[in-house]
Amino acid sequence: MTHPPTRTYWLEHAWLDTHVEPGVAVEVADGAITAVRTDVPAPPPGAEILRGLTMPGLANAHSHAFHRALRGTVQVGSGTFWTWREVMYAVADKLTPQTYHALARAVYAEMALAGVTSVGEFHYVHHAPGGARYADPNAMGEALIEAAADAGIRITLLDTAYLSSGFGQPPTAHQLRFSDGDAEAWAERCSVLKERDHVRIGAAIHSVRAVPADQLETVARWADERRAPLHVHLSEQTAENDACREAHGCTPTQLLALHGVLGPRTTGVHNTHLTAEDVSLIGGSGTGTCMCPTTERDLADGIGPAVALQNEGSPLCLGSDSHAVIDLLEEARAMELDERLRTRTRGHWTAATLLRAASADGHAALGWQQAGAIEAGALADLTTIALDSVRTAGPLPRLGAETAVFAASAADVRHTVVGGRHVVRDGAHTLVPDVPQALAQAVDALRG
Ligand SMILES: [Zn+2]
């Protein structure tokens, strides 16, 4: 990522973590914020003007880019998570480094248009169909890294260990391209991946189904040695809990705790079907929780105990996961609204808390500790929401956070700035000229 030179942004309204501040000047140099001045009622000469509500850039903490090709297709008829997975595998079978690059570039461009400045890509399609290695064994991961660069956003490549189809079962034919054979081989391949200006390398355990218990520690140690983020799909389905109890006599959370996987750099994704003890183990260890409510709704997973988890000390972040939609504001809104339906009471999360989950805490879960704030020293990642669209016009600007979370959508994102670079300007992507066409072509290439 090349950074533009020093510049000044003038924010008509800025979300400063606790309140909306009118008229804020933000100085940026080398991709980072060097100064923030309030009480600046008019744009300084030469400043880039961001009209609307500017907040720290959004972090999409859980993505499988290729699932975007399933949009619409998997909404036909009924089915379960497990029938959905068969359709997903059929698409995964068709990916090559070239087609995956084209699709991910378009998907990450869609994310930029939705205000996302960092994505956590939970990546497990490592090898060719059948499991043959590409000339570069990291060709697929590199395709994703390049796609993020082309779309102008940051990526944390959560390189995922996926070694078995279930407890004590080898990978199925579809899953052979996900597997490195064992965790040592996974670690050896991942160790070659290099961090770059826009890239962090993290680890993932696909699930307790997909990594044998005696190999969990290898993955956890690899992440620990690098102080890298470690993510894991956790108790998304009750069937996983039942199979884990049968194989190991404990819950997936207990199994992870036993093998040293939980901790402050670890994030459990979904954390849906948990016991009270699981909630204590996750919260007490400082393990994060990534909720993906639009996907969890779509797959009829259930509503996880997010409020209890946060109360026990588990920070919340958000992801669009299967990309049924890509809209972090919708994910944030769903947290509160789903909880209202479940409990028939209101006020579980404030807009401020949900924006923190969609930004600072999401970035922290992806290893971007300096992102997610409009303050000196932070990365110059900004997302501006229009306050004059049909959805957002009317409320007072000081209610900008409530308006953004409870009424706005991705369509209201007007500007996305990543490291001081304008990636989305006035609702148009500056690097990918026609994002809908890029999506249509990339998805079409995987059809048939
Ligand atoms: Zn996922």
Chain segment 17-32, per-residue pLDDT in tens: 999 999 999 999 999 9
Q: Which residue among 298, 301, 321, 412 is the active-site one?
A: 321
Q: Which residue has the higher pLDDT, 230 or 93?
A: 230
pLDDT tens digits, one per residue of 203-215? 999 999 999 999 9
Is pLDDT above 70 for 1? no
273 is catalytic: no
DSSP code for 169: B
**Average pLDDT taken over every residue of the chain:** 96
Q: Which residue among 64, 67, 270, 429 is the active-site one?
A: 270
**131 Cα to the center of ligand 1, angstroms:** 21
**180 Cα to the center of ligand 1, angstroms:** 19
- When pLDDT is averaged across residues 221-229 and rounded to a whole number, the result is 98
**233 Cα to the center of ligand 1, angstroms:** 6
Contact partners, residue 411, CB within 8 Å, separation at least 6 = 389, 391
Q: Residue 73 has what pLDDT?
A: 81
Residue 69 CA to residue 99 CA, distance in Å, equals 11
**Percentage of the chain with pLDDT > 70?**
99
CA atoms within 13 A on the CB side of 279: 14
Rounded to the nearest 10 degrees, how much is the dihedral formed by the CA atoms of 424, 425, 431, 435?
A: 70
Structure tokens at 256: 């992870």
Contact partners, residue 174, CB within 8 Å, separation at least 6 = 89, 92, 93
**Are 257 and 281 in contact, with CB atoms under 8 Å apart?**
yes
Pairing of β 154-161 and β 199-205: parallel
SS3 of residue 113 by DSSP: helix
Q: Residue 81 has what pLDDT?
A: 79
From residue 14, alpha-carbon distances to 27, 53, 353, 397, 415 in Å are 14, 6, 16, 10, 13
Q: Residue 2 has what pLDDT?
A: 61
**374 Cα to the center of ligand 1, angstroms:** 29
**392 Cα to the center of ligand 1, angstroms:** 31
**223 Cα to the center of ligand 1, angstroms:** 19
**308 Cα to the center of ligand 1, angstroms:** 22
Q: Residue 90 has what pLDDT?
A: 86
SS3 of residue 239 by DSSP: helix
Residue 267 CA to residue 374 CA, distance in Å, equals 24
pLDDT tens digits, one per residue of 340-385? 999 999 999 999 999 999 999 999 999 999 999 999 999 999 999 9
**270 Cα to the center of ligand 1, angstroms:** 8
Contact partners, residue 212, CB within 8 Å, separation at least 6 = 163, 164, 167, 168
**174 Cα to the center of ligand 1, angstroms:** 17
Is pLDDT above 70 for 177? yes
pLDDT tens digits, one per residue of 107-145? 999 999 999 999 999 999 999 999 999 999 999 999 999
- The radius of gyration of the chain's CA atoms, rounded to the nearest angstrom, is 21
426 is catalytic: no
Structure tokens at 184: 């040592």
Helix (H) or strand (E) holding 413: strand 413-418
pLDDT tens digits, one per residue of 377-418? 999 999 999 999 999 999 999 999 999 999 999 999 999 999
- List domains and CATH numbers for the chain: 7-57+375-429 (2.30.40.10)
pLDDT tens digits, one per residue of 300-333? 889 999 999 999 999 999 999 999 999 999 999 9
Q: Which residue has the higher pLDDT, 85 or 204?
A: 204
pLDDT tens digits, one per residue of 260-278? 999 999 999 999 999 999 9
**321 Cα to the center of ligand 1, angstroms:** 5
DSSP per-residue codes, 204-231: EE--TTTS-HHHHHHHHHHHHHHT--EE
Is pLDDT above 80 for 38? yes
